[in-house]
Amino acid sequence: MASCHIRILSQDDIDLVHAKTLELLDKPGVKVQSAKALDALEEGGAEVDRKTMIARLPESLVKETTSRFPKKITLAARNPKQDMVAPKEGPPYMATNGTAVYVADLETKVKRASMGRDLKDFMVLCDALEPLDYVWPIVAAHDGPKGFHALNEMVIGVQNTTKHVQGEAMSGAEALEMIRVGEVIAGGRDELAKRPIFSVVQCPICPLEFEKGSADAVIEFARAGIPVVSMSMALCGLTAPATLASAVTIVNAENIASFAISQMSKAGAPVIYSSESSVMDMRTGEIQYGAMEQLMIAAGVAQMAKRYGAPTMVGSFGVGISGDMPGIDSKASELMFDAMTNLTLTDFSSGIGGLDQAKGASFEQCIIDTDIWESIRDVRRDVRFDDEHFAAELIASVGPGGNFLKSPHTARNMRKELFLPSSGKSALYELYRLSGDQKSMVRQAGERVRKILSSHKPEPIPKEAKKQIDQILASHR
């Protein structure tokens, strides 16, 4: 098998990053604001200072951690045909952007705070879009219950798509309620652990800090068998030094420390190594998606993840991420580097539908992004190099100076090996030329959104399960 991947680290580089990671985990260590997590780390061999809440992780604890977590995981879906297994062959599984704070209204185009009804519509739309493999709650539901927003967004998600839902939790209490919802749908805790229909993104505070609520949630999810995505978000020049080597090492250290909290809470808890790191825009202080450095960091940390055998989520994709209204707003270089993060050694990716450096989201952008993703994703496909595919006998039979146009071999393999979209898809992809009419592109995307929302009906969850879930959610309103 051959496949197209970007690697930037030599084996010596990988070994050196690992060595520097061990140094960071020992000194200065990691700040963990959760007493439960500190207890788990201390029991695993960490040196804990309760006054400063600093845990220093020895090499022995790191080895124990990396030996415990599963190297193959399944992110299940309500529809088993949409299950995702990692490591992934071919292109990564793709998801939406996550928890944007505003939506560009489909009808008025006005930016406004997103509500539960918006998230429901997004989930229905994403359920219908084949290039999307799983979904984040793409917008926050600002009308959700205080302290349990993520629970509310998860419930809206699982009720309006049969795909895997990836959320987050802000506290151990919220994590437990999300687990209760999962148990209702799966049919019990053991069944949920076997087929986790949701997973969670729990972000460290870069550099090297874990907030109490998030760390407590990691423990509860680990015990329940819910996969935890340890998404490090280092920004060179702000939360990481302005060198790529330091950013890669900080990301690696934060992921290992998060894994340690999970594995010391329950050996074998499923985890995913993750980074959404880039550089700070030195003019605004914001994260700069699409920067060249984002690609390089993603490639480096993906190699580190594979060193430990961890499932990986480091890539992103979205062509409207730089603008605040739907369309193709990114610069040509940003488009290229953003797309190329999916050529790293990643199993999962995200970013569809995002605007304004992930602060906003758009229905039309979901259509535009998925169309373009569909047109490029096969560059990561696996290509066979074996006797059949070398076709040596065919080459010999045609001989020097011949051609293979009339060969049955060409007819059998051209659609398997070459990118040959249908006439309909080719016409669709023509919409996305950088020199094209963006207003027409967005208008046509909006028409498709309206058609999907008026006609697509996701498979509902059973009535009794919905009743129980609604009762869980109602108890927090």
Grade residue 1 by pLDDT with cuts at 50, 70 and 90.
Answer: low
Residue 134 has what pLDDT?
Answer: 98
Strands of the 228-232 sheet, one edge to the other = 93-96, 348-352, 312-316, 271-275, 228-232, 198-201, 164-167, 134-135
273-291 pLDDT, tens digit each: 999 999 988 888 888 888 8
Measured from the Cβ of residue 229, the count of other Cβ atoms closer than 10 Å reads 25
**What H or E segment, with its residue span, contains residue 449?**
helix 438-455
- Between CA 127 and CA 273 the distance in angstroms is 26
- Between CA 97 and CA 380 the distance in angstroms is 21
pLDDT average, residue stretch 265-272 = 98
**Rounded percentage of the chain residues whose pLDDT exceeds 70:** 100
**What H or E segment, with its residue span, contains residue 47?**
strand 47-49
pLDDT average, residue stretch 81-85 = 98
- 147 token code pair: 């302290």
Domain 67-380 = CATH 3.20.20.480:
yes
Residue 290 has what pLDDT?
Answer: 80
Asked if residue 183 lies in contact with residue 192, where contact means CB atoms within 8 angstroms, the answer is yes
N-to-C CA span, the chain: 53
pLDDT average, residue stretch 115-124 = 98
Question: Quick check: 163 pLDDT over 80?
Answer: yes
The beta strand positions in 153-280, using DSSP E, are: 164-167, 198-201, 209-210, 228-232, 235-236, 271-275, 278-280
Residue 400 has what pLDDT?
Answer: 95
Q: Write down the domain spans for the chain.
A: 67-380, 387-417
pLDDT average, residue stretch 259-271 = 98
Give the residue from 392, 387, 379, 385 showing the smallest Cα distance to 418: 379
Residue 74 has what pLDDT?
Answer: 98
pLDDT average, residue stretch 195-215 = 97
Question: Quick check: 432 pLDDT over 90?
Answer: no
Residue 33 has what pLDDT?
Answer: 98
- The structure tokens 């990643």 sit at 346
Contacts of 350 by beta carbon, 8 Å cutoff, 6+ apart: 94, 95, 96, 97, 98, 136, 313, 315, 316, 317
Residue 363 has what pLDDT?
Answer: 98
pLDDT average, residue stretch 157-173 = 97
∠ CA 6-131-447, nearest 5°, is 130
Residue 99 has what pLDDT?
Answer: 92
Asked if residue 346 lies in contact with residue 314, where contact means CB atoms within 8 angstroms, the answer is yes
- Amino acid found at 472: I
pLDDT average, residue stretch 251-272 = 98
Q: What crossing angle do the helices spanning 212-224 and 35-43 adopt, rounded to 10°?
A: 60
Grade residue 209 by pLDDT with cuts at 50, 70 and 90.
Answer: very high
213-256 pLDDT, tens digit each: 999 999 999 999 999 999 999 999 999 999 999 999 999 999 99
Question: Quick check: 424 pLDDT over 80?
Answer: yes
CB-count exposure of residue 433 (10 Å: 0-12, 13-18, 19+): exposed
- Between CA 280 and CA 283 the distance in angstroms is 8
pLDDT average, residue stretch 55-81 = 98
Residue 330 has what pLDDT?
Answer: 75
The beta strand positions in 132-210, using DSSP E, are: 134-135, 164-167, 198-201, 209-210
pLDDT average, residue stretch 124-147 = 96
Entry field: residues in the chain: 477
Whole-number average pLDDT of the chain: 94
pLDDT average, residue stretch 468-477 = 94
Residue 336 has what pLDDT?
Answer: 83
Q: How far from chain centre, in Å, is Cα 69?
A: 19
47-60 pLDDT, tens digit each: 999 999 999 999 99
Question: Quick check: 475 pLDDT over 90?
Answer: yes
- 449 token code pair: 């959104």
pTM for the whole thing? 0.94
288-337 pLDDT, tens digit each: 888 889 999 999 999 999 999 999 999 899 988 888 899 988 777 778 88
Decide which of 385 and 251 is more confident: 251
- 75 token code pair: 């992110």
